[in-house]
Structure 1
Amino acid sequence: MGHRSLPFFCRVALSAALAVAGALGAAPGVQAAAPTSTTITVDGTDPGLTFDGVGAISGGGGNSRLLADYPPRQRNQLLDYLFKPGYGASLQTLKLEIGGDTNSTDGAEPSIEHTKGVVDCDNGYEWWLAEQAKARNPHIRFYGLAWGAPGWIDNGSGNFWTQDTIDYLMSWMGCAAKHHLTVDYLGGWNERGYDKTWYEHLKAALVSHGHGATKIVAADSDWSVADDMATDPAFKKAVDIVGVHYPCGYLGSFTSCPSTATAQALGKPLWASENGSEDANAGAPAVARAINRDYIDGRMTSYINWPVIAALYPNLSFSSDGMSIANQPWSGRYSIGTTTWVTAQTTQFAQPGWHYIDAASGYLGGNRAEGSFVTLKSPDKRDYSTVIETMDATAPQTARFAVSGGLSTGKVHVWATDLGSTRSADWFVHTQDITPSHGHYALTLKPGYVYTVTTTTGQGKGTATSPASAPLGLPYADTFQRPATTTSPKYFTDMNGAFQTVRCGGGRAGTCLRQMAASTPIRWTDEPYDAPYTIMGDGDWTNYTVSADTLFEQSSTIELLGRVNQQGRNNNGLNAYHLRVSDTGAWSLDKSDTNWNVTTLASGTATALGTGRWHTVSLTMQDTTLTAEIDGRVVGSATDGSFTNGQAGLGVTGYQTDEFDNFKLTPGTPAPPHVGPITSALPGTCVDDAGDSAVDGTAVQLWDCDGAASQVWTWSNGTLTHDGKCLDVTGQGTTDGTLVELWDCNGGPNQQWTPQPDGTLKGTQSGLCLDDPAAGVTNGTRLEIWDCNDGANQQWKLP
């Protein structure tokens, strides 16, 4: 019946189960508490809204960038885990960023039209990703949304709500058609409000350009858009779907997901058009709640997770959010997050076009703290699936099903994910089959699980596994001659602007890397320094030289970046060294921090370089000495020890179209080992080897700093050793709370640590930080890894 506004009744009957004291281990004469029992009446004739699917977002921004550069075998495995039906997350919608050459969270996505009238439908990697998704699931739905826009819009005024933007979106729609992609949904400007008349004009443009079937989503922000739709018939007619962001709250547990009465009364589909922003593992419980509770609380019929995958470098702010983590394309290393499996508990058992059964959806025991459940039925009203989550339950409980109304009363299959387990073998498991008796059956529900009870078949769990992590070795070079999977060169990820391989200028043959955005884009982020730059490589690099040939197309300043470390959220700063060189010959050695405070360490003026000619520039970082060269001549140096390690990069300090070629990274001399204690930012405490033991598995703990031999560590090339043993993450764990210990050094990524400028130590394999639980100062407190949070309990001073 579509998305009509219907009363939401949930027939949830509570019944007290008999307490069997002996079975529960109660003492004689003491009656144990009765477990909660919930009756779920699954009647195929009961109403409910149309399910619009569960999806995820590629964009906002750059979070999918590294996926295209993975080795083909691992790249295909990751794509299967995302999109292949009956395999992994089995995503049903893919929301794509419409690139605007500007940072939109963790990177900038290239526009199809850097300058007005010059459209290149192959720019970027979103088309490639969409084609890969469609190849795996021909029924997947696509949704386009802009975070920013190229600077030529409205003659550079910065006004998004113009006819130029609509024309730009129509060009993007045309590009989608050239890639044989159907765009099912189109939005306006991500989280930046709305203009009612603009949306009306957008609807007219879609119709006039032959895209009348594409539905408009507004406003990818909050519920206020529903208020204007309720009072403005023309605006209401133009908008097909109300899309809101984070209706369950932002970066929380997603226990409550309301909409508004006004929104529900519109008779339009309501969507959580962006939700998530959660760690691929630690955030899985929140996602499990939200997928169910969006509908129960707010009548939302689609959940779209941000982002689709964490295929971005670990020094960026949201580096572990998504379905999976894939941040090492050179080794092929990846990890499938538990968010994949809580998503699969819905997507593998119900398809868009199915209908919810309102009366078979609600809260266990009528109490949201016990968990939630939703039931969906197939269009032919034969099959059904009930998805249950018990994230907050503290004891087992019983669900009793009563099936009728033409739905199958045959065998049901039970799949479950135990989110209390760190073992992948306990995630998305076919646990049992149940044969109902006259349509009735019961299921025991354990705390911390997601269950699906279904009459459908065809589900599965992917079996591909990741290779081991490995460093990206030096030397490394890129001449930009070999085509990459996308228009970005291999491993480079843009933070602002658009760096693309094109035919070289200045009389040079072949292809070079050019910064393509010729004017400041309409921005989404608000960083104080928004110049174009692109970064690449391994954050563990320490001493090395970065060099490149450069061509000034106009009067401007280019830069080489080195020891690129932590980036501030939404590009609001960067820990890095910069060698900046102008066409006038002016140069400077600078360092920046995560607030974009820039300190000039040395500067001067060399012979003017001019425009239209090629020159070679290099930055050498050897221990605390920084050296600048232009055309093979040392022009200056500086001493600074702020950053010991990090990636490399290229940039232009303004929106000019300069070129780069022959990018090279040459290793320097390894830094000497440092020996001494590791002190905590919590006063008087040190990292300690329990009992000064050299036995594998020895606990690593916190202890009063006493100068004992058990507190002497050696720091060298990313490893911490004591008595010949390495600081090791137990079992190669990658989840919060995994303990650290001593183990034979084996070069594994779980024994590699990257110091951050804020004093934290980030594990190479996990991306998590060495952590003192709850900031404890009690002697013997075991150390672990945990999400990096800048707390004093994660700050350490190395030898």
Structure 2
Amino acid sequence: MRSDTAPRRTPGRPAWRRMAGMMATGALLAAGVQLTAVTPALAATSITINGSSGGRTFDGVGAVSGGGGNSRLLIDYPEPQRGQVLDYLFTPGYGAALQVLKVEIGGDTNSTSGAEPSHAHFRGDLDCNRGYEWWIMEEAKRRNPAIKLMGLPWGAPGWIGNGTFLSSDLTGYLLSWLGCARQHNLTIDYLVPAQNERQWNAATTIAVRNALDANGYGSVGIEVAEDWTYSPADQFAGNPALRDAVDAIGVHYSCGYLSDQKTCNSSATAINSGKALWSSENGSQDYNGGAKPLARGINRAYLDAKMTGYMNWDLVASTTPNNLWSTVGLVLANQPWSGYYAVGKDVWAIAHTTQFTAPGWKYLDASSGYLGGNRNNGSYVTMKSPDNAAYSMIVETMDASGAQTLDLGVTGGLPTTGPVHVWATNLNSSNPADFLARQADITPSGGRYSLTVQPGYQYTVTTTTGQGKGTATSPAQGSLGLPYTDDYESYLAGREARYLMDMQGAFEVAACGGGRAGKCVRQASTQAPITWKTLSDPYAELGSTTWNNYTVQSDVMLERSGYVELLGRVGGQELMNPGALNAYHLRVSDSGAWSILRTNTSAQTTTLRSGTTTALGTGRWHTLALGFSGGTLTATVDGTVVGTASDSAFGAGLAGLGTSQGQTAQFDNLRITGGTGGGTSLALRNANAGRCLDVPSNAQTNGTQLALWDCNGGANQQWTLTTGKQLQVYGTKCLDPGTSGSSPGSRTVIAACTGATAQQWNVNPDGTVTNAQSGLCLDASSAGTANGTAVIVWTCNGGANQQWTRS
């Protein structure tokens, strides 16, 4: 069937169009689907929804829990908020209603946002209850028994192949993970015998397929290669055994990385391979800012590349706020101590497909395309149920320049009578009432009807019912206060302590050694892992980016020769090197050698002070403490101050525990005391816009221009007012008025803190923030209120766009 892109030649419309228009117009106008007194700016598009059309089988839209720790804090949420977040992710007819969940097979190594624990730290080890991915899969299945589950490793413990990922050890390792899934009454639908975005080969893929068949896992499908290529399809012609072993080809960012997803790519060989094609990782974008790309990509991955599955990275933004990816996910849930969460627009962009379709439905190729044949006008895809009893059309108009009329006719055995339901989301809006809003039904006449769609919207036109929008709401945001203590006695062995997030290695609760009763936290990774990022020493972190003057203290016991660390004022981390982080460290070895270190995101380590104290030895308990008071750092061992150092590079940040590589040390009685002292951490919320002063994309590059963005509690929105009147972010960067800072209109930036007057600010009782050198006010440009509005300095005028509240 064709899509008529030419303007209609006659002034009138056929009778069926007039009748459908008269029946639908009044109700649709009131509901916001159609605007009165606005002639559609673009030509009408005629679409025949033909149930006899050919098309591929839909495999579902889902999300990825993995790539290291992005879901970590969710399990620590209190009820009912934890269940509410899970409902928004998985419950049909409520929120995202995800149809596929891909989880990381933990490997004790940092795989983007942190590290997830392995079920087998060393050869012969097995614990099927480690980590939280089992729990997430169980909760997903409980809410939606039909959800498809996948497993994928990013890294692995070092014993696999003695450091060689693609080895015979990998086959047994994956089989043992599937055995753990069975213990949790979970059926895994797909397994990936490859290292995410790093390596795969035909021999390993075939070997794993044969092992699955031989061990009772014949129903588990194999997907490869989880990279940016279509290389599996290129090898099928010369390797029939590989072709027979593979069920689906998964490609990452087929519509571009961190892109608007306007155009997606594939290969003719892959399209004609006879295998399902999946856009198996996409997104990596903010829980609100990624919605428009999602709306495009879910449709266009099929239109451009014949991809029948689509997965967003990642599932939930539930990681520490100093993380580069702290707001990436479908729901923001990074404050388990307060129960606060925020449902992003991304949820509703996905819901327009997931709530109205199911895996196994069929795409109708002749009823899918670009509006008016022009991808700038938007796209539409249509799917039908296997029994032809229902259909749904998903329309997106993200880039359209005006309203468009869709003239629709139904044929090919699909329903032609009864109401057609319309749901709409205005992705240009920030009002939750505009997301997945039920519109007035349309009653077709003779299987024909029409509606007008507005630019910047998603629509679903459907004959299905049962959809809905969750009503649960979040409590207010709150800070994690001090003192903070944990003796680890309340956890099951093998689990992670509350709020403690592994960044490298595996810190888990275990029975204490060294003659101590009770439970401790033990770093359990016994050797360097097969990494996904650059290898670093194991460490774990917790806390708030606002913590300033405090002392972190812990009992420690080394199980073998090496060292242990306490970390403080932990801030940002370099993209691909977890060891390149802004932090201070107290390092003490079994020999008694100690040092106060400073590390940064350039992977530089500076020794601020060092010395020797009584040897800690192994198998004996000691108490370490690292204190901060302004620029003074104090190291204490067993109650005795062994040294101090002066340094002001980092003013605030999280606390942490660390060890040398392979050091299976233990920690007990964590205690973090003190307060913010010399600085006050602020989220600066613009009174006019209701949005916060934000460093876009968590950038840490000097000269990055600042803007307004939805307040989300991320480290890129936390500003510490120092005693020197600097407004610091990340503990290292200062609010700077820009190169023309003495002139109204200069755009503010972040810059390395220098102590200059130009970087000093007065936070005034009337809500203004004035630059100490120029006297100009911090200003939302042109009184803008939208995300991305530039933040500048301007002559103070008393406007609401120059008033900022602190929270």
TM-score exceeds 0.5: yes
Question: How far off is 1:193 after superposition?
Answer: 2.8
Structure 1 Cα separation of the partners of residues 198 and 470 of structure 2: 39
User: How big is each residue's C-alpha offset from its partner over 1:50-84, in whole Å with a ceiling of 9 and x where there is no partner?
Assistant: 10000100001110000000112110000000000
Structure 2 Cα separation of the partners of residues 749 and 545 of structure 1: 21
Unaligned runs of 5+ in 2: 13-37, 697-705, 711-716, 722-726, 737-744, 751-773, 794-807
Question: How far off is 1:443 after superposition?
Answer: 1.1
Q: In the alignment, which residue of structure 1 is the partner of 2:167? A: 162
Question: How far off is 1:258 after superposition?
Answer: 1.9
Per the alignment, do residues 305 and 444 of structure 1 end up closer, same or farther by CA in structure 2, a change over 3 Å counting? same
Contact 1:317 1:570 in 2 (8 A): no
Contact 2:691 2:708 in 1 (8 A): no
Structure 1 Cα separation of the partners of residues 188 and 693 of structure 2: 37
What aligned pairs does 1:672-751 form with structure 2 within 5 A after superposition? Answer: 716-719=679-682, 730-731=689-690
In the alignment of these two chains, the number of paired residues is 709
Q: In the alignment, which residue of structure 1 is the partner of 2:225? A: 219
SS at match of 2:62: strand
Structure 1 Cα separation of the partners of residues 67 and 576 of structure 2: 10
Question: How far off is 1:36 after superposition?
Answer: 2.1
Q: In the alignment, which residue of structure 1 is the partner of 2:3? A: 12
User: How big is each residue's C-alpha offset from its partner over 1:367-414, in whole Å with a ceiling of 9 and x where there is no partner?
Assistant: 001100000001110200000000111111111111011111221111
Q: In the alignment, which residue of structure 1 is the partner of 2:113? A: 106
Q: In the alignment, which residue of structure 2 is the partner of 1:450? A: 458
Candidates 642, 662, 670, aligned match of 2:669: 662
Candidates 177, 192, 202, aligned match of 2:198: 192
Contact 1:540 1:754 in 2 (8 A): no
Candidates 413, 418, 436, aligned match of 1:406: 413
Per the alignment, do residues 186 and 644 of structure 1 end up closer, same or farther by CA in structure 2, a change over 3 Å counting? same
Per the alignment, do residues 83 and 761 of structure 1 end up closer, same or farther by CA in structure 2, a change over 3 Å counting? farther
Contact 1:740 1:785 in 2 (8 A): no
Per the alignment, do residues 140 and 611 of structure 1 end up closer, same or farther by CA in structure 2, a change over 3 Å counting? same
SS at match of 2:627: strand
Asked whether 1:387 is paired with 2:387, we answer no
Asked whether 1:416 is paired with 2:424, we answer yes
What is the aligned-residue identity percentage?
Answer: 50
Contact 2:552 2:673 in 1 (8 A): yes
TM-score normalised by length of structure 2: 0.84
Task: Give the AA of the match of 2:175.
Answer: M
Q: In the alignment, which residue of structure 1 is the partner of 2:515? A: 507
Structure 2 Cα separation of the partners of residues 620 and 367 of structure 1: 62
Contact 2:691 2:709 in 1 (8 A): no
Task: Give the AA of the match of 1:621.
Answer: F
Task: Give the AA of the match of 1:470.
Answer: G
Per the alignment, do residues 358 and 774 of structure 1 end up closer, same or farther by CA in structure 2, a change over 3 Å counting? farther
Q: In the alignment, which residue of structure 1 is the partner of 2:99? A: 92
Question: How far off is 1:653 after superposition?
Answer: 2.3
Question: How far off is 1:314 after superposition?
Answer: 1.7
SS at match of 1:408: coil
Structure 1 Cα separation of the partners of residues 792 and 646 of structure 2: 28
Per the alignment, do residues 788 and 401 of structure 1 end up closer, same or farther by CA in structure 2, a change over 3 Å counting? closer
Q: In the alignment, which residue of structure 2 is the partner of 1:532? A: 538
Contact 1:558 1:582 in 2 (8 A): yes
Contact 1:729 1:751 in 2 (8 A): no
Q: In the alignment, which residue of structure 1 is the partner of 2:83? A: 76
Q: In the alignment, which residue of structure 2 is the partner of 1:143? A: 150
Structure 1 Cα separation of the partners of residues 132 and 494 of structure 2: 5
What aligned pairs does 1:239-388 form with structure 2 within 5 A after superposition? Answer: 239-388=246-395
What aligned pairs does 1:539-550 form with structure 2 within 5 A after superposition? Answer: 539-550=545-556
Per the alignment, do residues 760 and 104 of structure 1 end up closer, same or farther by CA in structure 2, a change over 3 Å counting? farther
Contact 2:127 2:494 in 1 (8 A): no
Question: How far off is 1:507 after superposition?
Answer: 0.5
Per the alignment, do residues 125 and 339 of structure 1 end up closer, same or farther by CA in structure 2, a change over 3 Å counting? same
Task: Give the AA of the match of 1:756.
Answer: Y
Candidates 480, 485, 488, aligned match of 1:477: 485
Question: How far off is 1:226 after superposition?
Answer: 1.4
Candidates 730, 733, 742, aligned match of 1:759: 733
Question: How far off is 1:317 after superposition?
Answer: 1.1
Asked whether 1:600 is paired with 2:574, we answer no
Unaligned runs of 5+ in 1: 1-9, 21-30, 672-715, 742-747, 763-770, 794-799
SS at match of 1:82: helix
User: How big is each residue's C-alpha offset from its partner over 1:575-626, in whole Å with a ceiling of 9 and x where there is no partner?
Assistant: 1110001111000001110122111100000011111100000000011000
Candidates 516, 529, 552, aligned match of 1:521: 529
Structure 1 Cα separation of the partners of residues 734 and 426 of structure 2: 31
Question: How far off is 1:732 after superposition?
Answer: 5.4
Contact 2:40 2:405 in 1 (8 A): no
What aligned pairs does 1:489-638 form with structure 2 within 5 A after superposition? Answer: 489-526=497-534, 530-572=536-578, 573-638=580-645
Question: How far off is 1:213 after superposition?
Answer: 0.3
Structure 2 Cα separation of the partners of residues 38 and 774 of structure 1: 45
Candidates 54, 57, 62, aligned match of 1:50: 57
What aligned pairs does 1:460-471 form with structure 2 within 5 A after superposition? Answer: 460-471=468-479
The 10-residue stretch of structure 1 (218-227 or 170-179) with the greater mean CA deviation from structure 2: 218-227
Structure 2 Cα separation of the partners of residues 77 and 517 of structure 1: 34
Q: In the alignment, which residue of structure 2 is the partner of 1:766? A: none
Q: In the alignment, which residue of structure 1 is the partner of 2:699? A: none
Structure 2 Cα separation of the partners of residues 300 and 773 of structure 1: 42
Per the alignment, do residues 227 and 524 of structure 1 end up closer, same or farther by CA in structure 2, a change over 3 Å counting? same
User: How big is each residue's C-alpha offset from its partner over 1:406-455, in whole Å with a ceiling of 9 and x where there is no partner?
Assistant: 11122111101101101111111002210011011111110000100000
Per the alignment, do residues 207 and 376 of structure 1 end up closer, same or farther by CA in structure 2, a change over 3 Å counting? same
Structure 1 Cα separation of the partners of residues 435 and 692 of structure 2: 16
Task: Give the AA of the match of 1:391.
Answer: M
Contact 2:389 2:415 in 1 (8 A): yes
Structure 2 Cα separation of the partners of residues 432 and 485 of structure 1: 54
Structure 2 Cα separation of the partners of residues 165 and 789 of structure 1: 49
Structure 1 Cα separation of the partners of residues 581 and 777 of structure 2: 36
Contact 2:119 2:177 in 1 (8 A): yes
Contact 1:390 1:447 in 2 (8 A): yes
Q: In the alignment, which residue of structure 2 is the partner of 1:24? A: none
Per the alignment, do residues 434 and 789 of structure 1 end up closer, same or farther by CA in structure 2, a change over 3 Å counting? closer
Contact 1:103 1:570 in 2 (8 A): no
SS at match of 1:589: strand
SS at match of 2:439: strand
Per the alignment, do residues 245 and 220 of structure 1 end up closer, same or farther by CA in structure 2, a change over 3 Å counting? same
Per the alignment, do residues 773 and 349 of structure 1 end up closer, same or farther by CA in structure 2, a change over 3 Å counting? farther
Structure 2 Cα separation of the partners of residues 485 and 451 of structure 1: 48
What aligned pairs does 1:426-437 form with structure 2 within 5 A after superposition? Answer: 426-437=434-445
Question: How far off is 1:324 after superposition?
Answer: 1.0
SS at match of 1:373: strand
Structure 1 Cα separation of the partners of residues 4 and 573 of structure 2: 52
Candidates 137, 140, 153, aligned match of 1:133: 140
The 10-residue stretch of structure 1 (565-574 or 333-342) with the greater mean CA deviation from structure 2: 565-574
Question: How far off is 1:516 after superposition?
Answer: 0.5
Per the alignment, do residues 394 and 14 of structure 1 end up closer, same or farther by CA in structure 2, a change over 3 Å counting? same
Contact 1:719 1:727 in 2 (8 A): no
